[in-house]
Amino acid sequence: MVFRIHEKIQYARTLSSEFYLDEKYFQESKEKIFARSWQLVATVDEVNNLKPLFLLEDFLSEPILLVRNESGIICLSNVCTHRGKILVEKACRARLIKCGYHGRRFDLNGKFLSMPEFEGVEDFPSDEDNLTRIPCEQLSGFVFVSLKPSFSFPSFFGEVKKVFEQLGWKDLKFVGARDYFVKAHWALYCENYLEGFHIPFVHKSLNKVVSDYSTEIFRFSSLQKAFTDELEASFEFSHNPPYLAALYFFIFPNLMLNFYPWGLSVNIVKPVKPDETRISYLTFVADESKLAKGAGANLHRVEMEDEAVVESVQKGIRSRFYDRGRYSPSQERCVHHFHRLIAEFMSVEETAVENS
Ligand code: FES
Ligand SMILES: [Fe+2]
């Protein structure tokens, strides 16, 4: 399959359905897309001292360890450099990292400290005995990591950083997490998110609130703005109608940051199988009094409506009579942008990925 999406939306055709159906592309996307992008892994508050986790648990499953040490929060490989045991199994506090298998010890920067019964071993310890340091960044109280970053953190998150600064939320309170499972390819779920075209057809109640819609496209992210005529359903800084009701920020390849007047709904789209995806919802409240109002009022209902259409598309693209579609130039710019990024990342040769 050739990954090529025409730069001009008027001429372009969507990705071939092969991309969503063939296990081969699903596997290739691990290294080519997901290992090379930035993943939200925790909030800063969650990392007390040692916090182990598996990055994209059902997909990359890379064992990583978030460490709060004297210099802040860093990320290390959580695999012992001796025989490969997982080092830290549960979040805990400790002054050093000690392997439970044969007693190898590391400091909180991942540097090898000691190992019993290794007297006489040549060329030991070397740099290979230290834990690999994984690039780690923070933004507005969230921690991100990238296994092999293809581009800098600001090139993905620079635009959304401005939104956090404009909102100036001081006390975003974490109120809950919930996972949804969708029987569809991860990219189909993202594509549905990336257009407001379907709102009048699929989300009748949301459509009553949303009076207008606009989109902006950046290098690795896109922003959809929903407007409303209802003043009480809008952001405080929005003074003239149509009022701003929601900001939907998508950061390639799988992060959705949904800003509402009440706070932030985070959706992380996590591949499980080519036709199964976990959506992790994290909810953070800034102003409780606005919770039941506007575009962010009934997210569960909207999620159910979206899942039904996305699962229907998953069945439809298996058809012998469907391969690629066209784009609406006025409504599907963000989908076109998303497909172009998939094509760009998937076209990188394996050797280039290895060396990047
Ligand atoms: S596997 Fe860690 S010390 Fe042997
Ligand atoms: Fe939707």
Paired sense of beta strands 105-106 and 97-98, if any: antiparallel
Measured in whole angstroms, how far is the alpha carbon of residue 156 from the centre of its chain? Answer: 11
- If one residue of 87, 99, 130 were mutated to test the ligand 1 pocket, choosing by the most ligand atoms within 8 A of its CB, it would be 99
Paired sense of beta strands 210-217 and 173-182, if any: unpaired
Q: Which of 234, 224, 236, 235 has the alpha carbon at shortest distance from 332? A: 224
Q: Distances from the Cα of 341 to the Cαs of 6, 15, 19, 271, 279, in angstroms?
A: 12, 11, 13, 17, 21
Whole-number Å distance, alpha carbon 305 to ligand 2 midpoint, is 7
Q: Which of 299, 281, 276 has the alpha carbon at shortest distance from 203? A: 299
Q: pLDDT by residue (tens digit) across 325-350? A: 999 999 999 999 999 999 999 998 86
- If one residue of 81, 85, 89, 121 were mutated to test the ligand 1 pocket, choosing by the most ligand atoms within 8 A of its CB, it would be 85
Whole-number Å distance, alpha carbon 308 to ligand 1 midpoint, is 47
Residue with tokens 């997901």: 34
Both tokens assigned to 59: 């997909």
**pLDDT for the residue 350:** 63
Q: Which burial class, exposed, middle or buried, applies to 200 when counting CB atoms under 10 A from its CB (0-12, 13-18, 19+)? A: exposed
Residue numbers in the chain where pLDDT is lower than 50: none
Per the CB < 8 A criterion, the answer to whether 39 and 253 are in contact is no
Q: Which fold has domain 169-346?
A: Naphthalene 1,2-dioxygenase Alpha Subunit; Chain A, domain 1 (3.90.380)
**pLDDT for the residue 123:** 97
In one-letter notation, the amino acid at residue 65 is L
Q: Which CATH class is domain 43-138?
A: mainly beta
Which residues belong to CATH 3.90.380.10 in the chain?
A: 169-346
Q: Which helix H or strand E contains 54, and what residues bound it? A: strand 50-55
133 lines ligand 1 (CB under 6 A): no
**pLDDT for the residue 189:** 98
Q: pLDDT by residue (tens digit) across 220-256? A: 999 999 999 988 889 988 888 899 999 999 999 999 9
Smallest-distance ligand from the CA of 210: 2
Strands (DSSP E) found in the chain: 39-43, 50-55, 62-69, 72-77, 97-98, 105-106, 112-114, 133-134, 136-139, 142-145, 173-182, 210-217, 221-228, 243-251, 255-260, 263-273, 276-285
**pLDDT for the residue 2:** 82
Whole-number Å distance, alpha carbon 213 to ligand 2 midpoint, is 13
Per the CB < 8 A criterion, the answer to whether 130 and 87 are in contact is no
Which residue's alpha carbon is at the smallest distance from atom 1 of ligand 1? Answer: 83
**pLDDT for the residue 315:** 98
Q: Which burial class, exposed, middle or buried, applies to 10 when counting CB atoms under 10 A from its CB (0-12, 13-18, 19+)? A: exposed
**pLDDT for the residue 355:** 54
Q: What is the pTM of this model?
A: 0.95
Both tokens assigned to 345: 């990342």
Which residues belong to CATH 2.102.10.10 in the chain?
A: 43-138
- The DSSP code for 131 is P
98 lines ligand 1 (CB under 6 A): no
